[in-house]
Amino acid sequence: MVAGKKTKKTHESINNRLTLVMKSGKYTLGLKTVLQSLRNSKRKLIIISSNCPPLRKSKIEYYAMLAKVGVHHFVGNNNDLGTACGKYYRVSCLSIIGPGDSDIIKTLPGDH
Amino acid sequence: MVKFLKPNKAVILLQGRYAGRKAVIVRSFDEGTRDRPYGHCLVAGIKKYPSKVIRKDSAKKTAKKSRVKAFVKFVNFQHLMPTRYTLDVDLKDVVAVDSLQSKDKKVTAAKETKKRLEERFKTGKNRWFFTKLRIANHGTVVGNLLCEIQV
């Protein structure tokens, strides 16, 4: 889709924005909570890592389609997503509930 | 960000005795109640799907084959897979919260539901709802569901 350099740049910015959410906004990590708050429709945006198992990925995407929530496929696997969140464990799906820094929510769905 | 677990939504049960069966949400309790401190809903579903009717069948056979057996149940949201389909069957007066309190109330509620669902089946609408979910050998319920729903 885009050349290597461009993805690197947007990748960096996504990382930056994620750290901002970690600090200021509300988020949940992990499949269970992601689905739970999808049902409550408390989510604003969902981020899925690239090596999330395809069945799980389609499940989340389907729920998000029903709930009309944006889904963003993170460029990188769950190790990277965990690191981007500043955690020492792997994260394969994460959802952003509160706009701590509302920049993220506006830019990412447009990106996708 | 729309809430989609609303009444009249078609849903598939994932766990329990009725796993793989299609159901309709009659009432949803998003915050939960004191007995059930989790989000759950009251569903009415198909216990036994109507069989396939062919042109050769006599009227008696057709009637027999088009029977639907229904169930009424409280289910946790976690054990449901929502679909993009809805089923506009008026089940609110039939199936109330207290109809699951005692056995006979449950039976009468199920019978009424059965009647309404059979009527709907005979009109030929909502055909997706009345077809059995085909489960391939290697697949799980969710996997097959997603294939079916997205088609």
3-class state of residue B126 by DSSP: coil
Q: Do A69 and B1 touch (CB under 8 A)?
A: yes
Which residues pair with residue B45 across a beta bridge?
A: B23, B71
The Cα B111–Cα B18 span in angstroms is 17
- The rounded Cα B93 to chain-centroid distance in angstroms is 16
Q: What is the pLDDT of residue B141?
A: 61
Q: Flag whether the ipTM exceeds 0.85.
A: no
Please give the Cα distance from B106 to B70 (Å, whole number).
11
Whether the CB of A36 is below 8 Å from some CB of chain B: the reply is: yes
What percent of chain B shows pLDDT beyond 70?
A: 87
- Alpha helix positions (H), A27-102: 31-39, 54-67, 78-84
Share of chain A above pLDDT 70, in %: 78
Cα angle B141, B99, B40 (rounded to 5 degrees) comes to 40
- Closest approach of chain B CAs to the CA of A96, in angstroms? 12
Q: In this complex, is the C-beta atom of B146 within 8 Å of any C-beta atom belonging to chain A?
A: yes
Q: Is the pLDDT of residue B56 over 50?
A: yes
- Per DSSP, the three-state class of A85 is coil
- Among B2, B5, B149, beta carbon nearest to A62: B149
Question: For A32-66, what is each residue's pLDDT tens digit?
Answer: 889 888 888 778 888 899 888 888 898 898 888 88
Q: Do B78 and A67 touch (CB under 8 A)?
A: no
Beta bridge partners of B48: B69
Among the residue ranges A87-91, B66-70, B73-77, B88-92, the one predicted with the least confidence is: B88-92
Start-to-end CA distance of chain A, whole Å, equals 12
Using CB atoms within 10 Å of the CB of residue B40, give its burial: 0 to 12 exposed, 13 to 18 middle, 19+ buried.
Answer: buried
pLDDT given at position B23: 92
| pTM for the full predicted model | 0.79
Q: How confident is the model at residue A70 (pLDDT cuts 50, 70, 90)?
A: confident
Using pLDDT thresholds of 50, 70 and 90, give the confidence band for residue B76. Answer: very high
The DSSP code for B88 is -
Q: Is A7 on the interface with B (CB under 8 A)?
A: no
Strands of B2-137 (E only): list them.
9-13, 22-29, 40-48, 69-76, 80-86
- B30 pLDDT band, cuts 50/70/90, is confident
Q: Which pLDDT score, from 0 to 100, does residue A38 have? A: 86
Q: What is the pLDDT of residue A24?
A: 83
Tokens linked to B25? 């949400």
Task: Select from B102, B52, B50 the least CA-distant residue to B72.
Answer: B102
Gap between the Cα atoms of A76 and A14, Å rounded:
11
